A and B are shown apart, each in its own frame.
Chain A
Amino acid sequence: MINKLFDEQLHVINIGLGSFADSITEAGGSVTNVDWKPPAEGSHDAGIKLAKTVNHPLIEAANKKAFSQFMGAQPNLVGVELAKNILPGLGEHTLLHAGPPIQWEQMCGPMKGAIIGAILLEGWAKTHREAEEFARSGDIFFAPCHHYGSVGPMTGIISPSMPVWVVRDEVNDHMTFSNMNEGLGKVLRFGANDQGVLERLAWMKEVLAPAMNAALKVLVQVELKPLIAQALHMGDECHNRNVAASSLLFKKLAIGLVRSHIPETQIKEVFDFIAGNDHFFLNISMAACKSMLDAAHGVTGSSLVTAMSRNGVEFGIRMSGTNGTWYTTPAPMVDGLFFSGYSKNDAAPDIGDSSITETAGIGGFAMAGAPAIVQFVGGTPKDAIAYTREMFHITQGINGSFTSPSLNFAGLPALIDARKVVDNGIEPVINTGIAHKDAGVGQVGAGVTHAPMACFIQAVNALSDTLSD
């Protein structure tokens, strides 16, 4: 190859002192200057480990495979079941939560509040105090939703008797789940656990869930990829803005519901509930994203990120090639716009499984097509486009199924490559809601945050270590 170089015209890439690049240009050569900063937060060893993974044939091949598997998944909404009846291996006193593993003592306020509510809902305790003692006792097994094939927004608590959406990837015959969205305000997912919350949850189990199930039996299934694609063209990004998707879903469910055996009074209640909740689709969006990402997960040697998640204390990611390992670091605070009466001081750290949407290439990655969201960013639509465009530099490819009119209908960037995040110093962008740090208050704002670099450095180090020299 050295002798081949002698026959080529020299094209130089300059890393470091700009004066070298200037000299080359003056001498009539072709040079591209890198705006270089030390990657991997300046660690020499992490830098070498990263370097070992760059353009490694094993990793490149694995990533191509994982990406095509991701693209091949076809998630469909098929029904609603109780968690204990469908989540594989769910034990008796198990409570699932959002984010990477965490124990009761470390949990943040909203999550503790939600767990207390769940304990009461299950009937494992009669009072709030009892519930708290039970939670502290060690008799409850706390586990991430992800470990049981599910995802939940905000505190993301799923208890055995809760109804969950069932999403089935027909290509890989694989199921993923999510709980049902309660609406805004005082809800369990923000840590509220008073009587009103528990009653609503009971109604959802008794009325909403069977109704949804019945509707879906009539429809057989709802194909989720085309629905999301359509919603993306209508100004949704399917994480923080779900109104179009929720409306599209409502259209389908309504047809199924009126043709089912569900009594008219209940249909009325259900319609009122869904119509009043612009985020109804969010949980389904999340389950669909997890479904696609699960298809890409478990490919040996792949550096693609298959989960990003927060539990209010830590931010964690998972990588396709390193199986179940979570790479975690303290969760960042979210910068954004606060609803009137609230400020930064009221905010909880970033929380929820909903960043699974960005992991799949929508949510913040689709900001270019969600001009309304931009207001939370405090910028112009051009800024929103710029956010999406930046993501092209850290992703494996382009998802032709999800296109954006703002990008001339080009596909959105998909599947984060942990190596590129570290090498380019570009963190994945996430659009998110901001919860109040105290349990039960609810959402106090929304904004933009970034997945912290430390997780990706850990992941790349781990992958690098698996490579033989």
Chain B
Amino acid sequence: MTKTVVISIPRLEPHRPPPGPAIIAKICEQQGHTVTAYDLNIKFFNYCKKQNVDYHGFDQVWNRFADFDLQQSEVLEKFLDIWCKRISSEDYNYIMIGIFGISGSVFARAFLNKLRPLTGAKIIIGGMGAGTAGLTDPEDCLGYRLKNEGLIDTYVVGEGEGAIVRVLNNEIGPGINNTEVSQIDDLDSLPQPDYKFFNLDEYDYLFPNEKEVFITGSRGCVRKCTYCDIERYWPKFRYRSGQNIADEIIDNYERFGITRYYFTDSLVNGSFKAFNDMCEKLARYKFDHPLSWSGQFIFRDKKSIPKNHYELVKAAGADILFVGIETGSDRVRFDMGKKFTNEDIDFQFEECSKNGIHVIPLMFTGYITETIEDHRENLLAFQRWQRYVADGTIVGVELGTSLIILPGAPVERMIDSHGLTFVVDDNMEPDLKLWWSEANPDLTIKERIRRKLEVHETAIKYAWPVWRQASRLRELKELILKHELHQKDIQKFYKLVPTENQTKIATFSKMGEL
């Protein structure tokens, strides 16, 4: 019998079990393997607690802003010793490691450096983190580098459900040891995450004694917001039927008593029909304990919203909707590809308010086309919608970073047309947060920083529930210090232009110092 272990690693939120490994574990079981799953993220979280070490103190390390301090280094070392010995002693044929994002790369490397010499098992990595690459060479991803270093046997990029079966059958193809994107069209046919592989009692639930899990209703995004790189990973938007999503929720409720969900979708209501169907099914089901779910949500043109829609959404269990309103400037929001206005936002805040649905607006400052007038309109938003903070509809606000020119995002394809110039670091790598545009010359880097601070101060002036933003400010300060933006005018730039052999993910060559 083939023995397989599926492992997730930090950094993940400690509040819910990881769905990706729960799906992969299920697939391996369907393939006849004896499967064990370890969520080393929650194990590490609890280990840190026991050792009286701040788990979240590692964030700066996972974000690669800082190195381990002595205590962190010792704690991680001991933790890895324990788990690498245990895993190697359990004699698996396959060790599958899910790396959620780029913030998993530091742990992954430390883990693999210890584990690889101890085991003859085939080590396979997957998850978004495995395919994370830089702007200049998309093939040079974490998986590629780890494989070249002999730390893993295979890396899977993109959707793993199909790829992992092909890997087990020694097949090759898109997403297996390459960054080609292969998408699965029929999401309803995929196995659902099976949480029996995890100990659901060891999580740090946001609401004590209320189990919460992730759920995915769609992949990709129905919108093409210019700043977002989702299409790089999932070019096509696909979604499950409303019935299928509701079935998963009801099944988890009946098997494990789970009543709280967090949607991982780019937009939980990306498909209006599927979302509406799900809401109707959930609103009809008799839960003994109230169901509640949260997730990212799109506000639409108010004319397209049926009467009583938000009443249904509430009846289906909506708790917190994270809504990318982005800015208080209609013009800039349209430039971003979001086709709704401040009036549409007024209407939907009011609907949420009437129906007791909470909202966390997601915003950011300094879009590529933002003028000083747009910025002033943006500032007015905090007064305009303060009423919804006061009545408890708006329960948080994400003020974001300034615009990052993400590889694969539509805005990356505007580099040439907007004449973007980037600051480079000591290794002559462009910093994607530090740019300015010939087409909008007033929006200098300093001006963007100034506007960000002014937005932050305005949010505070109007008593908005600014939340988790001090860390963003600290990162901004680090960035300023790193590039010495405070000490001199920025003189070192690289201009980046598309190469002739541009792939669907644009690649760029350095043209030399200006």
A binds B: no
